Amino acid sequence: MTLSITSDNKASPQVLDDDLFAPSPRHPDSRLETDWLFLYNKLPPDQWFGADYAYKTSGWLKVHTNIRKRQRILTQISEGYQTGEYDWAKYRSQMLKRINMHILKLHQHHGVEDEGFFPEFIRMYPQLQAGFEILGCDHVRLDALLDKLQLQNDTLARTEVEDKALAEQLHQTLVDVTNLLSQHLSDEEDLVIPILGLRQG
Ligand SMILES: [Fe+2]
Ligand SMILES: [Fe+2]
């Protein structure tokens, strides 16, 4: 391989090497395009908790950790009922308040992002607008799933006699939320955390 830059505007070996070693977005079905990863390449995930960045990045990541944790606990309780570990009364008592709190916290978090952070980040980096539009659409899709989950939870609150079909429907909604959240939180972090870590102040 020659090390000189070609005259016909082809990428130099250095650029090709940079592309070759650039980190990939973490989710296997990430929607992030290569053009949006210029900050991610400067601040890849293995540096997010470094001393120079953690004080700017850890707050956002902690909120996401708590979202993932609440989602995981709900799914575990639901699976516990499906496998017979929990009876109906225990299942209901564990689920009802937890689901209400989870939905409330998710709506609060999405509201702060949609109305505050995302518009601010787009002003800083207009070339990332399409990426933030994907994340905004995820919030709309999540809202619809959370509305469904809320209705199922309200029904669960009124259903003292065991209703296996209701528990199965609720479990499927939880699985759908888990799948969407997994992709959404990962793509959001890959786009947002480098912005937070690399900005001044
Ligand atoms: Fe989000
Ligand atoms: Fe978020």
Q: Give residue 18's Cα distance to chain centre.
A: 27
- Domain enclosing residue 130, as ranges: 33-44+54-198
Instruction: Classify residue 13: in a domain, yes or no.
Output: no
78 Cα to the center of ligand 1, angstroms: 24
Q: pTM for this structure?
A: 0.88
58 Cα to the center of ligand 1, angstroms: 16
pLDDT tens track for 139-195: 999 999 999 999 999 999 999 999 999 999 999 999 999 999 999 999 999 999 999
198 Cα to the center of ligand 1, angstroms: 20
Instruction: Classify residue 83: in a domain, yes or no.
Output: yes
Q: Give residue 13's Cα distance to chain centre.
A: 35
Instruction: Classify residue 7: in a domain, yes or no.
Output: no
pLDDT tens track for 39-63: 999 999 999 999 999 999 999 999 9
Instruction: Classify residue 156: in a domain, yes or no.
Output: yes
The Cα–Cα gap between 7 and 31 comes to: 33
Instruction: Classify residue 98: in a domain, yes or no.
Output: yes
pLDDT tens track for 61-97: 999 999 999 999 999 999 999 999 999 999 999 999 9
The Cα–Cα gap between 100 and 80 comes to: 19
The Cα–Cα gap between 168 and 191 comes to: 35
Q: Domains in the chain: how many in total?
A: 1
